[in-house]
Amino acid sequence: MIRPRPTLHLGVTALAAVTLSACAGAPAAPTSEERGAATVFAPWAPATFARARAERRPVLLHLAASWCHWCHVMEE
């Protein structure tokens, strides 16, 4: 017969309590940088990529294909 380990049970319970208490708080307020940030859509052009490279910012691409079922589903 396997006997339960009280210290393991206590440790798991404490870990769960700490995790839940950390998740229960209110979300952090956005920083001034996040508040001012806006999504800017730019045309697909070499200048767009050069600007992103100069500003060390990522470029997010929105691509779809006419034959792609899931592309149309996610557009809705």
Specify the DSSP class assigned to residue 67.
T
Instruction: State the pLDDT at residue 71.
Output: 84
The two counts, helices (H) then strands (E), for the chain are 4, 0
Tens of pLDDT, residue by residue over 13-44, are 877 777 777 776 667 776 666 666 677 788 88
- Entry pTM: 0.40
pLDDT digits (tens, 9 = 90+) for 44-55: 899 999 999 999
What pLDDT is attached to residue 67?
92
Q: How far apart are CA 34 and CA 36, in angstroms?
A: 5
